[in-house]
C-alpha cells in the first residue's frame, strides 16, 4: 500500500522555488487571455524564487499545501485590510497548481 502525506504547513525558505513555480502555473492558467501576455509575464516574473524567499524570511504569513514532496499550492494571509469590515483577517491569495485544482484542496 502506498501512502501520500498531504500537509498544510508554514512555508520555509527552501519552498521558495516551488512557490514561485506554483504562482507562475496558477497565474498563467487563470489570467492568460485576460491580462495581455507581456504584462502577465511581468507580473509573474517579479515574484520569482528570490521574491518568495525574501517574503518567507521576513515573516510573511505564507502557508503551503504539500502533497508528498511536491508543493501543490500556497496561501498568504494577514490582517484585514478593509477597516470598514469587522473581520480580523483575510486570505490575500490562494493558488493551486492546475493539476491540483478541482479536487477540494482550496
**Torsional sign, CA 53, 54, 55, 56:** positive
pLDDT band at 75 (very low <50, low <70, confident <90, very high): very high
For range 87-96, the mean pLDDT: 94
- State pLDDT tens for residues 32-72: 999 999 999 999 999 999 999 999 999 999 999 999 889 99
Pairwise CA distance, residues 52 & 11, whole Å: 10
Predicted TM-score (pTM) of the model is 0.90
Q: Which domains does the chain have, with CATH numbers?
A: 6-91 (3.40.630.30)
Amino acid at each position: 500500500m502506498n501512502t501520500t502525506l498531504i500537509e498544510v504547513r508554514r512555508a520555509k525558505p527552501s519552498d521558495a522555488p516551488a512557490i514561485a513555480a506554483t504562482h507562475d502555473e496558477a497565474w498563467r492558467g487563470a489570467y492568460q487571455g485576460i491580462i495581455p501576455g507581456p504584462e502577465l509575464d511581468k507580473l509573474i516574473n517579479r515574484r520569482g524564487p528570490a521574491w518568495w524567499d525574501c517574503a518567507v524570511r521576513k515573516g510573511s504569513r505564507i502557508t503551503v499545501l504539500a502533497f508528498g514532496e511536491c508543493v501543490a499550492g500556497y496561501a498568504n494571509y494577514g490582517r484585514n485590510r478593509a477597516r470598514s469590515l469587522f473581520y480580523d483577517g483575510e486570505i490575500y491569495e490562494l493558488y493551486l497548481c492546475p493539476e491540483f485544482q478541482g479536487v477540494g484542496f482550496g
